[in-house]
Amino acid sequence: MSEKKSMLDGEKQYHIQLQEGDIADFVILPGDPGRVDFIAKHFDDPKEIAFNREYKTVTGTYKGRPVSVTSTGIGCPSAAIAVEELANIGAKTLVRLGTSGAMQEHTRIGDLVIANGAVRQEGTSPQYMPIEYPAVPSADMVYALEGAAKEKEASYHIGVVQSKDSFYGQHDPDSMPVSHELNQKWEAWVKGGVLCSEMEVSTLFVVGAYRKVRTGALLVVYGDQNRKEALSKEDYLDSVNMATNVILESSLKIPT
Q: Looking at the domain assignment, is residue 3 inside a domain? A: no
Q: Are strands 65-70 and 93-102 parallel, antiparallel or unpaired?
A: unpaired
Split into its structural domains, the chain has a count of: 1
Q: Please report, in tens digits, the pLDDT of each residue of the chain (256 residues total).
A: 444 445 555 579 999 999 999 999 999 999 999 999 999 999 999 999 999 999 999 999 999 999 999 999 999 999 999 999 999 999 999 999 999 999 999 999 999 999 999 999 999 999 999 999 999 999 999 999 999 999 999 999 999 999 999 999 988 999 999 999 999 999 999 999 999 999 999 999 999 999 999 999 999 999 999 899 999 999 999 999 999 999 999 999 998 8
Q: Looking at the domain assignment, is residue 17 inside a domain? A: no
CATH number at residue 146: 3.40.50.1580
- CB–CB of 256/129 below 8 Å? no
Q: Looking at the domain assignment, is residue 9 inside a domain? A: no
Q: Looking at the domain assignment, is residue 4 inside a domain? A: no
pTM for the predicted model, two decimal places: 0.95
Q: Looking at the domain assignment, is residue 12 inside a domain? A: no
Q: Looking at the domain assignment, is residue 7 inside a domain? A: no
Rounded to an integer, what distance in angstroms lies between the CA atom of residue 214 and that of residue 151? Answer: 22
Domain that holds residue 144: 26-251
As beta bridge partners, residue 158 has 114
Q: Looking at the domain assignment, is residue 192 inside a domain? A: yes
Look at residue 256 in the predicted model and tell me its pLDDT: 83
CA distances in angstroms from 120 to 76, 151, 172, 239, listed in the order given: 10, 31, 20, 26
Q: Looking at the domain assignment, is residue 220 inside a domain? A: yes
